[in-house]
């Protein structure tokens, strides 16, 4: 599954005193998919009433329905992001 890669990668400088050497390592952090889902979650939870049909139809808890929809939004965003990258070259 494409998770979009790291959302907020950063380089961290470390020092190893055993070998007296400084080096850089990449800290990946959360995936872009998780960040997109979290951002979608904020919007979804402001008006969760439209999810009542999903809750009833699939016998889900409200929290399960919100999580499923948040990740569906994130996956759709990653798909569209990839299409835009392909179109731009």
| 7-41 pLDDT per residue, tens | 888 878 787 787 878 877 777 889 999 999 999 99
**What's residue 81's pLDDT?**
94
* Main-chain dihedrals φ then ψ at residue 23, nearest 5 degrees: -150, 165
* Main-chain dihedrals φ then ψ at residue 21, nearest 5 degrees: -140, 140
Q: For the whole model, what pTM was predicted?
A: 0.73
The 10s digit of each residue's pLDDT in 48-66 is 677 888 888 889 998 999 9
**What's residue 15's pLDDT?**
79
Does residue 70 surpass a pLDDT of 90?
yes
**What's residue 89's pLDDT?**
74
Q: Is the dihedral of CA 65, 69, 75, 79 positive or negative?
A: positive
Q: Can you read off the two tokens belonging to residue 42?
A: 């904020």
Q: Can you read off the two tokens belonging to residue 12?
A: 């961290």
């Amino acid at each position: 599954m494409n998770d979009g890669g790291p959302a907020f990668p950063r380089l961290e400088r470390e020092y190893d005193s055993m070998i007296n050497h400084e080096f850089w390592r990449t800290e990946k952090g959360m995936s872009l998919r998780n960040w997109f889902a979290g951002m979608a979650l904020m919007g979804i939870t402001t008006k969760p009433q439209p999810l009542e049909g999903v809750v009833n139809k699939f016998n889900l808890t409200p929290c399960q329905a919100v999580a499923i929809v948040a990740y569906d939004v994130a996956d759709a965003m990653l798909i569209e992001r990839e299409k835009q990258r392909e179109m731009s070259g």
